[in-house]
């Protein structure tokens, strides 16, 4: 994979998956900026922390600053997000707003802010993180699955909207990712079945590469052996 000199932004870039994506894209030669609500990582010179990407103005300001630093924008990876398991009977209605905001609205705001820069570049790539769980929602997964189903529809609609602009828009749909948080939540599970962040980062790097120029509007499951 060669992404030499390509400017890329990874939202949620300080998280478990986002950090693996930042690392993989840098290894492929890209210049990468991470934008996250979490505090800026000390080791990451090109990182923007404390940004709520569900706020359109904050998203635009952070994306504009990152693009200035990168010298242009070729790729946006929307990896900001969160998970909650809650039944409707015992859960809180506010959880539906929360997950809509962190999983869907962050991708909407970051993508909208990125579009003028991608167009100025003459084309580019957007990769969203959906979820396999959105295909068929299990009990307790309603709010999460609904928000990730929204990410799938954003992906489809924006890919159609951007066909004439040379911007591809795709989504990867992980099942349970092998993260420290998931290991802590499910200590008895067989971790070897879970997809590794590095494997998802590899797929995302492919979708950003020249080889994937003709792929757009795709929703690609990546589920390890789950």
Cα separation, 174 vs 203, in Å, equals 11
Query: 38 or 46: whose CB is closer to ligand NAP?
Result: 38
Distance CA 55, CA 80 (A): 13
Contact call for residue 75 and ligand NAP (CB under 6 A)? no
Residue among 104, 114, 98, 150 nearest 35 (CA): 114
204 binds ligand NAP (CB under 6 A): no
Closest among 226, 197, 214 to 77, alpha carbons compared: 197
> In the bound complex, which residue of the shown chain has the CB atom lying closest to ligand NAP?
15
Each residue 76-115 as x (binds ligand NAP by CB under 6 A) or -, in order, gives ---xxxxx------------------xx--x---------
Give the residue, chosen from 115, 174, 203, 205, that forms a contact with ligand NAP under the rule CB under 6 A.
Answer: 174
13/48 Cα distance (integer angstroms): 9
Do residues 212 and 206 make contact, with C-beta atoms less than 8 angstroms apart? yes
Name 125's bridge partners. 75, 168
Any contact of residue 36 with ligand NAP (CB under 6 A)?
Answer: yes
CB contact at 8 A, 104 and 151: yes
CB of 115 or CB of 151, closer to ligand NAP:
151
182 touches ligand NAP (CB under 6 A) = yes
- CB closer to ligand NAP, 28 vs 99: 99
Considering beta carbons, is residue 79 or 149 the nearer one to ligand NAP? 79
* 109 contact partners, CB below 8 Å, separation of at least 6: 53, 54, 55, 56, 59, 60
Catalytic option among 48, 74, 144, 194: 144
9 is a contact residue toward ligand NAP (CB under 6 A): no
Q: Tell me whether residue 100 is one of the annotated catalytic residues.
A: no
Q: Which is nearer to ligand NAP, 28 or 145 (CB)?
A: 145
Contact 226, 195 (CB under 8 A): yes
Q: For the chain, what's the residue count? A: 226
Which of residues 177, 204, 205, 219 is near ligand NAP by CB under 6 A? Answer: 177
Q: What residues contact residue 211 under an 8 Å CB cut-off, 6+ apart?
A: none
- Site residues, ligand NAP (CB under 6 A): 12, 14-18, 36-38, 51-54, 79-83, 102-103, 106, 129, 131, 174, 176-177, 179, 182
Catalytic site residues? 144
């Amino acid at each position: 994979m060669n992404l030499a000199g390509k400017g890329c932004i990874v939202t949620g870039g300080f998280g478990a998956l986002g950090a693996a994506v930042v690392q993989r894209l840098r290894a492929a030669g890209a210049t990468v900026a991470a934008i996250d609500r979490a505090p800026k990582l000390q080791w990451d010179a090109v990182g923007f922390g404390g940004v709520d990407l569900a706020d359109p103005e904050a998203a635009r300001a952070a994306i504009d600053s990152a693009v200035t630093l990168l010298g242009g924008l070729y790729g946006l990876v929307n990896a900001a997000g969160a998970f909650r398991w809650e039944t409707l009977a015992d859960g809180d209605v506010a959880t539906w707003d929360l997950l809509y905001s962190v999983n869907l609205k962050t991708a909407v705001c970051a993508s909208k802010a990125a579009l003028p820069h991608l167009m100025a570049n003459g084309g580019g790539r957007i990769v969203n993180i959906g979820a396999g769980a959105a295909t068929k929602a299990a009990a307790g997964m309603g709010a999460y699955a609904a928000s990730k189903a929204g990410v799938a529809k954003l992906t489809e609609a924006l890919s159609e909207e951007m066909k004439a602009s040379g911007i591809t828009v795709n989504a990867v749909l992980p099942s349970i990712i092998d993260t420290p948080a998931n290991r802590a939540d499910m200590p008895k599970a067989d971790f070897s079945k879970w997809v590794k962040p590095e494997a998802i980062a590899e797929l995302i790097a492919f979708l950003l590469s020249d080889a994937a120029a003709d792929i757009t509007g795709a929703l690609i499951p990546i589920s390890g052996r789950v």
